[in-house]
Amino acid sequence: MKSNRIFLLSMILSMAGCQTAPTHGTAQPASPTRSTSAPTPSAAHSTATLRDLIGEYDNHSQRYSDGAATNAAIPVPAMHQWLTATREADAMLWRLRSGDEPNAVEGRWLVRESAGTLVPYRPLTANANAAFDGKGDYKFQTTDWAPLAACTLKRGGSGFVLAVDAGACSSLLPGLGSSAALLPQRVSLSDDTLVLATVSDMARGADATTTSHRVRWFTGWDAMNGGGPKATTGKDWHLKRDLRLHSEGGRVPLQWRDGAASGYSLELARLFYKESNTEVLRLAVVEDVSGRTLSYVWANPDATRIGLNIGWLQVGLDMDVAKDRNKQ
Mean predicted confidence (pLDDT) in 291-296: 96
pLDDT at 324: 56
CB-based burial of residue 131 (10 Å sphere; 0-12 exposed, 13-18 middle, 19+ buried)? buried
**Which of 73, 36, 89 minimizes the C-alpha distance to 275?**
36
On the question of pLDDT at 75 being above 60, the answer is yes
On the question of pLDDT at 263 being above 50, the answer is yes
Calpha distance 91→36 (Å, rounded): 33
Calpha distance 170→174 (Å, rounded): 8
Which residues fall within 8 angstroms of residue 240, CB to CB, at 6 or more apart?
221, 222, 223, 254, 255, 257
Cβ atoms of residues 185 and 201 within 8 Å: yes
Cβ atoms of residues 97 and 212 within 8 Å: no
Q: What is the dihedral of CA 239, 240, 241, 246, to 10 degrees?
A: -130
Q: Is the dihedral of CA 110, 41, 207, 22 positive or negative?
A: negative
Mean predicted confidence (pLDDT) in 233-258: 94
Calpha distance 65→295 (Å, rounded): 17
On the question of pLDDT at 244 being above 50, the answer is yes
The pLDDT-based confidence of 17 (bands split at 50, 70, 90) is very low
Kindly state the helix (H) or strand (E) to which residue 322 belongs, with its residue range. Answer: helix 321-326
pLDDT at 15: 47
pLDDT at 50: 83
Higher pLDDT, 58 or 66: 58
pLDDT-wise least confident of 1-10, 15-24, 57-66:
15-24
